[in-house]
Amino acid sequence: MPRIAYVNGRYVVHSQASVHIEDRGYQFADGVYEVCEVSRGHIVDMPRHLARLERSLKELSIAWPVSEGVLPLLLREVVNRNGVVNGLVYVQVTRGVAS
């Protein structure tokens, strides 16, 4: 089963996941990441991870990429689509491409 990533609003096969060459996260590390543990198919301490992500995004003045309530659903779907029972999920949010 191929690994699945959620990138820029789409679920894609991991090998085809990519970001724009001018994405500020790629060029300048202008972004935030959060690592979430998955145990028995469930993300451990999700509210704590979301609170830390929110705090980090606010400190850097980076907007949420989706509404705050949607992110837990996306994370659970990534876990489900990948069949993760025990492991890690990486969440990366960047400022995106400069206009």
Please name each of the domains of the chain with its CATH number: 4-94 (3.30.470.10)
**pLDDT for the residue 67:** 87
Nearest CA to 65 among 2, 15, 19? 19
User: pLDDT tens per residue, the chain (99 residues)?
Assistant: 789 999 999 999 999 999 999 999 999 999 999 999 999 999 999 999 999 999 999 999 999 999 878 999 999 999 999 999 999 999 999 999 988
Nearest CA to 28 among 90, 89, 97, 99? 97
Identity of the amino acid at 40:
R
Compute how many other C-beta atoms are within 10 angstroms of the C-beta atom of residue 93.
20
**pLDDT for the residue 3:** 95
